[in-house]
Chain A
Amino acid sequence: MDFIQVPSSYIFYLAAAITFVFLRDRTLRSVLLICVPIIALIQVWNLEIGNHHQVDFFNLQLELMRVDKLSKVFGLIFCLAAFLGNLYAWHVKDVVQQIATLVYTGSAIGAVFAGDLVSLFFYWEGTAIASVFLIWARRTEASYHTGMRYLLIQISSGVILLAGLAVQFHTTGSIAFEKMELSSLSSFLIFISFGIKCAFPLLHNWLQDSYPAATVTGTVILSSFTTKLAIYALARSFAGTEILIYIGAIMTLFPIFFAEIENDLRRVLAYSLNNQLGFMVVGIGVGTELALNGTASHAFAHILYKSLLFMSVGAVLFRTGTSKASELGGLYKTMPLSALCCLIGAASISAFPLFSGFVTKSLIMDATATEHYPVIWCVLVFASAGVLSHSGIKIPYFTFFAHDSGLRPKEAPINMLIAMFITSFLCVFLGVFPDTLYNILPYEVNYKPYTISHVISQLQLLCFALLAFTVIMKLGFHPPEIRAINLDSDWVYRKYLPSIMLRIINRLGSVNESTRSGLENKISSGEQILLNIFGPTANFARVFTNGVMILWIAVIFTGALAIVLF
């Protein structure tokens, strides 16, 4: 079989099996983890458009390599992200994390190339099961519980997908993973399943709960795949579904406020990720070629700059043992290169001209304007200012600058620095040469990001937002970084529902108790009655004399005779 036709996921699974069985040497494992994404990247780059690999499965034909321009662009960025993440994690000795990373990455890439819902389901659950080990690898009680919550929600998403698939197969006889209308039960179930993984509002909290709980390197890996896989799945199936525009707009809005007051910087980034997903979901909802190009390119750029931000905060966590803004500050003195990379990531996510976010986000913004969604456009501009506030300013400022925390950690390890440099380079490269990215997008791009109007308006927005930050800091109105947490919708299933359950259990317990004691009382009084009648001191236990017995027999005999004779 031609190498090019082998499903890319198999390469990762094979590497995971080799790592598990043969590789006892840490360096060899790290080398393998870096080589595998490069091999997969070369393979995906050279893939031709078409369906390459079919498998028969219980009378169903599964398409494992459906290659088109949409799946290819996601496949490429997934391979690139896996390479950068594994380079960043070069120092990791934990074989569990390494195998989990390979299986997780392989499943995500497999899902991107899945041409039917059955294989999508297997890969979908594969990402869920493999990725939870990156959370459990922290090996604390808290990470165990967080991992269980994460797994429960991810598996639920898969089960709902399976239900949707079953209904679709039952009604249409098809398992095709294609564009669908949100009008049938099956499409609704599939939509919800994708929505859970995409962190739709109120279904989002698994993201902010679990990503800060993973290991330093695990979070970098996690941030790249799960949610972007959901974006891909939505773009594939529900492009042009109008409700997505409004869902996406809400997604860009609410995380801004939570991110602003969050103390754990990795959770700030998780909220920020949620906000960025909102932009992509809006693009899918608009559904035009420009908008879908915007979504695909924004996902591409986003994976890079979000990884970069997670890497720089992860490096700080690795060196200082904390990622809490209240404990950090002034680290530019001893971690200047990490600070520089963090600033590049911050500029990219904030969409400063010459950085990657600028050339990708503007496609989506332009699509909403072209399709006449003025309110949505205003929301997205507002959200752009919000991105600057929490990711552009808060992350670098409170980690590396602001007040001096007195911490003087060493610079990040060399492997982390190299990974951050390459990612930073890509963020700037895409910003300066957007056509490189535009050329691999699903549709032809006729868009010029660098017009005077666009550059000036974006610079005005960002610079005046920065000015507002300066004024607010000077006046002392900025919410201080304090050691606290903030309740979000996960409070419902983490506190409220358990407390209700506890109350129900307590109530049932007391009902059980009172019923039992009532029954016991009844039984013991019944026993007493029986004892009174048949007990050792009762009349029935009395010893009868022979005379009395004969007398009673005579009475019974006389009675019987009387009945017979008369």
Chain B
Amino acid sequence: MNDNNKKLKETTNPVGSILFGWLDHRHSTRIIIGTLSVSCFVLLLVDFVYHRHGHFMIEEVPGFFALYGFLMFSLIILGATTLRYFVKRREDYYGTKAVDSDMTENKK
């Protein structure tokens, strides 16, 4: 462990270690993704076991909400990326008349 890492470790809040210390584990990302994938799989399975009731026919199609959630989220990211292509400007585009380039420490 080099000095820099040591210093970072030392500055970690003890409450932080208790609440989120497990995130520093080597396999934490894998654990999170694994848990999420298993949860999704189980939730999808429920649809084939339990007949869901809804106002619209489509709600009763097994896996509708799962598919809708996945696709719509992807659509949002795609849409946002496309939108950025058109509307992105430099941070100081509005000059001194906007707070975006205002680097004053706002501690009031």
Contact = CB atoms under 8 A, between A and B. Distances in A.
Interface of A: 92, 94, 97, 137-143, 145-146, 209, 212-213, 215-216, 256-258, 260-261, 264, 317-318, 321, 332-337, 339-340, 366, 369-370, 374, 377, 381-382, 385-386, 388-389, 401, 404, 406, 408, 411, 452-453, 456-470, 472, 477-479, 483-488, 494-495
Interface of B: 8, 11-13, 15-16, 18-20, 23, 33, 36-37, 39-40, 43-44, 46-47, 50, 52-56, 59, 63, 65-74, 76-77, 79-81, 83-84, 87-91, 93-94, 96-102, 104-108
Most chain B beta-carbon neighbours within 10 Å: one of A140, A406, A463 = A463
Contacts of A470: 33, 36
Given A137-B108, A401-B23, A460 B43 contact: yes
A139 B106 CA distance: 9
A315 to B, nearest CB: 11
A257 B79 contact: yes
B70 A377 contact: no
9 pairs of A and B residues whose beta carbons are closest in the complex: A260-B80, A369-B55, A336-B16, A464-B69, A468-B73, A321-B105, A460-B65, A461-B69, A465-B73
Contact of B69 (A257, A258, A321, A468): A468
Contact of B96 (A142, A385, A404): A142
Contacts of A334: 11-13, 16
A386 B76 contact: yes
A452 B50 contact: yes
Contacts of B101: 142
B102 A339 contact: no
Contacts of B81: 261, 477, 479
B90 A465 contact: no
A374 B54 CA distance: 12
Contacts of A257: 76, 79-80, 83
Contact of A486 (B65, B71, B84): B84
A369 B56 contact: yes
Given A138-B106, A321-B107, A369-B55, 16 more contacts: A142-B96, A143-B102, A213-B98, A215-B106, A261-B84, A333-B20, A337-B19, A381-B72, A386-B72, A452-B50, A453-B54, A456-B65, A484-B88, A485-B89, A485-B93, A494-B97
Contacts of A142: 96-102
Nearest to A408: B11
Contacts of B53: 453
Contacts of B66: 460-461, 463-464
> What is the interface of chain B mostly: helix, strand, loop, or mixed?
helix
B24 to A, nearest CB: 8
A469 B97 contact: no
A332 B90 CA distance: 30
B40 A456 contact: no
Most chain B beta-carbon neighbours within 10 Å: one of A333, A339, A381, A487 = A333
A495 B89 CA distance: 13
Most chain A beta-carbon neighbours within 10 Å: one of B65, B71, B90, B91 = B65
B87 A477 contact: no
A321 B106 CA distance: 6
A472 B70 CA distance: 11
Given A377-B56, A470-B33, A140 B102 contact: yes
